[in-house]
């Protein structure tokens, strides 16, 4: 049986070295060198090849090399093939660092100071205590919970929003569309950590922005298609939003003449909030294979009906 990797080939070479060390009995191949297709049992991919069922008739598990699976066309996959997303701890650590940086950067007015520096303007703003800066997180999943745990240490009043009801000590939890407005109304800094699904596409738009406190700030680390760029620019220009820290856009990269590149109230990074770390990812994948063989539950198993 073979493990096939189909994503960035440089990282694939790192996976290959780790497989050779940790699972020498499991042949590891990098797309397009898949060898005998009948032997491919496991596939880790960013974008799986078309016609998976016909190409690899004995495939048992499909891994996403990323935390999300929105890049997969779930309807085109064999219906019973388990799809496992990446829940390795390196992704979580990276996301906690990034969102903490962004929330602190917005809390301490970094976009305004970067703009002031460019203009050679020495303009101190009043420092707000963290206890008066309310942070709300859209999504209460693996990444959001780790982020909230770290943000709690600074003393920000915290809230979160999920599809099903969650309880997290120290976090005002909201569930479902009916409770979204209440959560938005108490979010001076809003963080989006939602997966991209039909229900979350375009969620960061004019309607949502109108519910936020005047001058609120946004951190967007979910997926580009969740954000309406025109509504965002209108909210920034009109003062409804004071600043935005963006890691994801649609398209990626943005066209060279897009206003978001140079907007003084925008910090933009190229989808780097967190990345799968080969060492811990290979440990997770090998553990999932072991569990699959033993008939045990798989961590990160995607619920296809839910879409994440």
* Active site positions, annotated: 223, 271
Q: Is 222 in the site for ligand NDP (CB under 6 A)?
A: yes
Interface size with ligand NDP, residues (CB under 6 A): 31
Rounded distance between C-alpha atoms, residue 78 and residue 51, angstroms: 9
Q: Select from 15-23, 26-34, 138-146, 278-286 the region that touches ligand NDP (CB under 6 A).
A: 138-146
Using CB atoms, what's the residue nearest to ligand NDP? 141
CB of 146 to ligand NDP, least distance (A): 8
Strand order in the sheet with 216-220: 171-175, 158-162, 135-138, 189-192, 216-220, 241-246, 266-268
Q: Measured from the CB atom, is 18 or 248 closer to ligand NDP? A: 248
Instruction: Please give the sequence-ordered ranges of beta strands (E in DSSP) within the chain, or none if there are none.
Output: 2-6, 28-30, 40-45, 61-64, 83-84, 135-138, 158-162, 171-175, 189-192, 216-220, 241-246, 266-268
Going by C-alpha positions, the residue among 149, 146, 148, 103 that lies closest to residue 128 is: 103
Asked if residue 94 has a cis previous peptide bond (ω within 30° of 0), the answer is: no
For residue 278, state whether it binds ligand NDP (rule: CB under 6 A).
no
What six digits make up the tokens of 23?
Answer: 């699972």
Stretch that binds ligand NDP, among 14-22, 50-58, 182-190, 193-201 (CB under 6 A): 193-201
Spatial distance between the Cα atoms of 192 and 204, rounded to a whole number of angstroms:
9
Interface with ligand NDP, residue 183, by CB under 6 A: no
Strand 171-175 and strand 189-192: the pairing is: unpaired
Of 59 and 196, CB closest to ligand NDP: 196
Pick the stretch among 72-80, 122-130, 206-214, 269-277 that binds ligand NDP (CB under 6 A): 269-277
Q: What's the chain's Rg over C-alpha atoms?
A: 21
Q: In what order do the strands lie in the sheet with 61-64?
A: 28-30, 2-6, 40-45, 61-64, 83-84
Q: Does 142 bind ligand NDP (CB under 6 A)?
A: yes
What mask of x and - would describe binding to ligand NDP in positions 85 to 124, judged by CB under 6 A? Answer: ------x---x-----------------------------
Residue choice 105, 136, 195, 278 for contact with ligand NDP (CB under 6 A): 195
Span interacting with ligand NDP, options 31-39, 103-111, 189-197, 227-235, rule CB under 6 A:
189-197
Residues 171, 173: Cα–Cα separation, whole Å: 6
- Binds ligand NDP by CB under 6 A, chosen from 6, 107, 134, 223: 223
Smallest distance from the beta carbon of 119 to ligand NDP, in angstroms? 30
Q: Are 244 and 220 in contact (CB under 8 A)?
A: yes
How is residue 274 written in tokens? 């967190």
Could you tell me the smallest distance in angstroms from the CB atom of residue 211 to ligand NDP? Answer: 15
- Rounded to a whole number of angstroms, the minimum distance from the CB of residue 156 to ligand NDP is 19
Q: Choose, by CB under 6 A, the member of 43, 103, 137, 144 that binds ligand NDP.
A: 144
Angle at 61 between CA 223 and CA 300, to 5 degrees: 45
Query: Which one of the spans 24-32, 48-56, 221-229, 277-285 is the region binding ligand NDP (CB under 6 A)?
Result: 221-229
Tell whether residue 281 is a contact of ligand NDP (CB under 6 A): no
Contacts by residues 173-176 (CB-CB < 8 Å, ≥ 24 positions apart): 173/140
Residues near ligand NDP (CB under 6 A) are 67-68, 91, 95, 139-144, 161-164, 166, 193-197, 199-200, 221-223, 247-248, 271, 273-274, 308
């Amino acid at each position: 049986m073979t493990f096939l990797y189909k994503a960035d080939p440089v990282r694939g070479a790192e996976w290959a070295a780790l497989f050779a060390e940790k699972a020498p009995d499991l042949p590891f191949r990098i797309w397009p060198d898949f060898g005998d297709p009948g032997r491919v049992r496991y596939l880790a991919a960013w974008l799986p090849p078309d016609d998976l069922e016909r190409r690899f008739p004995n495939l048992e598990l499909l891994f996403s090399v990323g935390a999300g699976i929105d890049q997969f066309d779930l309807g085109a996959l064999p219906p019973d093939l388990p799809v496992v997303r990446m829940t390795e701890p390196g992704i979580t650590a990276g996301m906690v660092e990034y969102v903490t940086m962004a929330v602190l950067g917005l809390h301490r007015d970094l976009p305004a100071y970067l703009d002031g520096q460019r203009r050679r303007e020495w303009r101190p703003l009043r420092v707000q205590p963290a206890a008066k800066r309310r942070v709300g997180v859209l999504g209460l999943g693996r990444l959001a919970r780790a982020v909230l745990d770290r943000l709690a240490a600074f003393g920000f009043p915290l809230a979160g929003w999920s599809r099903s009801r969650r309880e997290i000590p120290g976090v005002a939890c909201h569930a479902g569309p009916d409770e979204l407005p209440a959560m938005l109304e108490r979010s001076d800094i809003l963080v989006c950590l939602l997966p991209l699904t039909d229900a979350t596409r375009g969620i960061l738009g004019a309607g949502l922005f109108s519910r936020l406190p005047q001058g609120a700030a946004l951190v967007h680390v979910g997926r580009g298609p969740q954000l309406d760029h025109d509504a965002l620019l209108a909210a920034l220009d009109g003062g409804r939003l004071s600043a935005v820290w963006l890691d994801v856009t649609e398209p990626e990269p943005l066209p060279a003449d897009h206003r978001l590149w140079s907007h003084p109230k925008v910090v933009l990074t190229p989808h780097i909030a967190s990345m799968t770390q080969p060492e811990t990812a290979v440990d997770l994948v090998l553990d999932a294979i072991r569990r699959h063989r033993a008939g045990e539950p798989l961590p990160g198993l995607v619920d296809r009906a839910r879409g994440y």
